[in-house]
A and B are shown apart, each in its own frame.
Chain A
């Protein structure tokens, strides 16, 4: 699986958009980009995923560059409750891949400040 690189930490003012970058320069054509977050002392929570096109749901937007080598997770109006560690994962689309598990790296620690 492709490796991802994320900044270790970021700050964001409450009410402003939080833009979390992720580099995945070795991503292959059948790998999806997934974002999860983990709020302190809770289990990881799914946010959004995509392959090529930009995606939006009730939680966030995902912008994937045309060459797919990087992506940005956007929280449009960050709140204090969005303070968490955000994980970017790329994963091959194969239901026969053992476990289809999501193995997380260090992620980005987002601190939303009032």
Chain B
């Protein structure tokens, strides 16, 4: 497809279980981002991948969260031992390269999100 693709679109899991969320960025985009948005809140940055560089993990809320990006394309966000406060929509985004803010049209494109509910 032409856009950022995420799966699953919806996931209900029991507290304590592990979940994996997948993201397929736009083809050719070297930068990939994960965000999450809790109900009624703004977006929260989680992690950023740029090419072959070490990812920026500064936004991961705890060591239960991890992400990897294989082959510079598909990314998987893993949440171990899920808690109820992990319930949120997890958004993946990609951009052609590191955002060059001075270049018009170089923007960050978001997927539709994976809605996670921990019960």
A residues near B, CB below 8 A?
A: 32, 41-46, 49, 51, 87, 91-96, 98-107
| CB pair A101 B48 closer than 8 Å | yes
8 interchain residue pairs of minimum CB distance: A43-B110, A99-B48, A100-B99, A104-B43, A93-B101, A104-B42, A46-B107, A95-B98
Given contacts A98-B48, A101-B56, 13 further A-B contacts (CB under 8 A): A42-B113, A43-B112, A46-B108, A49-B101, A87-B42, A95-B99, A95-B101, A96-B98, A99-B45, A102-B45, A103-B43, A103-B44, A104-B43
Within 8 A of A (CB), among B66-119: 91, 93, 97-102, 104, 107-113
Report the separation of the CA atoms of residues A87 and B108 in the bound assembly, to the nearest whole angstrom.
Answer: 14
Shortest Cβ distance from B46 into A: residue: A101
Give the shortest distance, in Å, between B98 (CB) and chain A (any CB). Answer: 4
Across the interface, do A102 and B102 meet the contact criterion of CB distance under 8 Å?
A: no
B99 contacts which chain A residues (CB < 8 A)?
A: 95, 100
Closest to A103 in B: B45
Return the contact of B42 from the options A41, A100, A103 (Cβ within 8 A).
Answer: A103
B58 proximity list for chain A (CB < 8 A): 98-99
Knowing A32-B101, A95-B99, A95-B100 touch, does A101 contact B110 (C-beta < 8 A)?
no
Bin chain B's interface residue count. 20 to 34
Give A56 Cβ to nearest chain B Cβ, in Å: 12
CA distance A106 to B98 in the complex (A): 25
Q: A32-B101, A44-B91 are in contact. Are A99 and B111 (CB under 8 A)?
A: no
Whether the Cβ atoms of B42 and A43 lie closer than 8 Å is no
Q: Could you tell me if A102 and B100 are in contact, using CB atoms closer than 8 angstroms?
A: no
Instruction: Check A93–B102 contact: CB distance below 8 A.
Output: yes
Q: In the complex, are the beta carbons of B42 and A107 less than 8 A apart?
A: yes
